[in-house]
Structure 1
Amino acid sequence: MSQDPFAEFKKRQRDMWSSFAPTATFTPPVAGHLVKFARIQPGEAVLDVGTGTGVVAITAARSGAKVAGLDLTPELLEVARENARIARHEEIVWTEGDAEQLPYADASFDVVLSQFGHMFAPRPEVAIAQMRRVLKPGGRVAFATWPPEHFVGRMFAFVGRNSPPPPAGASPPPLWGNPATVAERLGASFDAPFFERGVMAYPALSVEHFRLFIERSIGPLQKLVESLAGDPQKLESLRAEFEALAAPYHFDNVVHQDYLLTRAHAR
């Protein structure tokens, strides 16, 4: 097997997201929306790609599905196992693994889900091919992503402008939030997709509170802040720019984060 040209990049991603667990506290409502949108049925075999702390996997299991969850970051899988124990769904099978190299047999699942997970795989065509491979005939994929024109997509663009560039050939994650791009990427292997939108409510007393929390729990921004520790003036400027970016989305003590849901049936 040829060497993965993105192996080092993925290792950095794995380490970068190890602090994400506190942020996942705000994602269960999105998981509920996604599982309902995916039309999960009791007894279906479901895979959650990029499961993180397991909120989607556990939600699907509570709907009666037989669930497996996969993530690149072992620290998040430990939290997922504990969440499953608390929710009394210890039957969920958790696996450390890569969205571009799914460790499952062909036609293993009725549904493949992903909540803000597969979008970080550097090669969309590889991730989609893998998701399609493990789906049974007539199976479906459903995922939540961040549109590039709304806050989280703009935040990742902001981080990208201020960070070393990713390896050549890596696709920007927010492109998965553009319906036209999604339809094009799915087109060869899936029927025309259905879309739905929602807003994730992120409680925050002030923009400053929000910025501080994000700096400590969103890996890419955390690494960016750490890289500027020796340049207080530049760090202060970066923080001011972030707060200006977030300010229009913060009202009623909530940062409003728009997301896109996609569902499509395999051909």
Structure 2
Amino acid sequence: MTETADAREADRALKAKHRTMWALGDYPAVATQVVAGLGPALVEACGVKDGDRVLDVAAGSGNASIPAALADADVVACDLTPELLAVGRKEAEARGAVLSWQEADAEALPFEDGTFDTVMSCVGVMFAPHHQTTADELVRVCRPGGTIGLLSWTPEGFIGQMFATMKPYAPPPPPGAQPPPLWGNEEHVRTLLGDRVTGVEARRRALRVDAFREPEDFREFFKAAYGPTIAVYRSIAGDPERTAALDGALADLAAGALRDGAMDWEYLLLTARRATA
């Protein structure tokens, strides 16, 4: 194999690994039972309206896509993991939302340049491994003057700290892969988008999560439902001491965040316009 062929093969293997990871557990339960408020918040911030052509990238089971469709936009929801799209289709049908679902890689979107009025992602594209490639694709498929909207967990917030807690127990990332919570850093995202956008507005907000009464409730739910957490535990399944240590670390993290049965999970909500020239 040439170096280029090797790189393509490595990328295919990495994407297959990501696809499998997000199919683990029950991410739709996370989306509907824990973080349901994020999608509507992003749709509102993007100003989605009747007739807008909207692309939701790394849409999962439709946390943002379905609210956008219910606002009478013309929505395409795309994701790397077909299992999540299948759940989204059923949820959309149950809620009377009409939209299109398409399997797609955020780093190689199968759409023409300037196709969409709004291109958005709700805690989705942050998990694509190559940040600049992903940002380039978001800008490319957005029409000049159109809106790009991104909602991402911050490094300092609870989910960012959860990833930091799991990192010592996880296999090392492949070369070139960047940490997901960097998308929650305003300067990082501004650098990715560069002068191809204007009117950037970035706000740090917090999602109130009251789904877990005890620290162990959070830990056990995420061990059972959240793909990245499941994958880390699988990687240390043969080491009871490390498994117990991670159990304790995640419970401690949640204990430090719980106040009267609720937690505040910080995220960055960033919107911008694609430059017209």
**Counterpart position of 1:230:** 238
**Counterpart position of 2:164:** 157
Give the stretch that moved more between structures: 157-166 or 72-81: 157-166
**Counterpart position of 2:185:** 178
Q: Residue 214 of structure 2 contacts residue 255 of structure 2 at CA under 8 Å; is this kept in 1?
A: no
Rounded to whole Å, the distance in 2 between the matches of 1:28 and 1:241 is 26
Q: Is 1:40 paired with 2:48? A: yes
**Counterpart position of 1:7:** 12
**Counterpart position of 1:146:** 153
The 5 Å alignment of 1:25-64 reads 25=32, 26-64=34-72
- What is the Cα deviation at residue 5 of structure 1? 4.0
Structure 1, gaps ≥5 residues long: none
Query: Alignment partner of 2:64: what SS?
Result: helix
TM-score normalized by the length of structure 1 = 0.95
Give the stretch that moved more between structures: 80-89 or 3-12: 3-12
Q: Residue 151 of structure 1 contacts residue 249 of structure 1 at CA under 8 Å; is this kept in 2?
A: yes
Given candidates 232, 245, 249, the residue that maps to 2:253 is 245
Rounded to whole Å, the distance in 2 between the matches of 1:124 and 1:210 is 29
**Counterpart position of 2:202:** 195
Aligned residue pair count? 266
Q: Which amino acid aligns with 1:166?
A: P
What is the aligned-residue RMSD (CA, Å)? 1.5
Question: What's the CA shift string for 1:114-147, capped at 9, x where partnerless?
Answer: 0011111111111111111111111110010011
Q: Is 1:116 paired with 2:116? A: no
Q: Residue 166 of structure 2 contacts residue 246 of structure 2 at CA under 8 Å; is this kept in 1?
A: no
Rounded to whole Å, the distance in 2 between the matches of 1:32 and 1:21 is 16
Rounded to whole Å, the distance in 1 between the matches of 2:174 and 2:247 is 26
Rounded to whole Å, the distance in 2 between the matches of 1:154 and 1:192 is 30
- Percent of counterpart pairs with the same letter? 36
Rounded to whole Å, the distance in 2 between the matches of 1:188 and 1:170 is 24
TM-score normalized by the length of structure 2 = 0.92
**Counterpart position of 2:91:** 83
Runs of 4+ in 1 over 4 A off after TM superposition: none
Rounded to whole Å, the distance in 2 between the matches of 1:88 and 1:111 is 22
Q: Which amino acid aligns with 2:249?
A: E
Rounded to whole Å, the distance in 1 between the matches of 2:125 and 2:230 is 21
Given candidates 137, 140, 143, the residue that maps to 2:144 is 137
Rounded to whole Å, the distance in 1 between the matches of 2:213 and 2:36 is 20
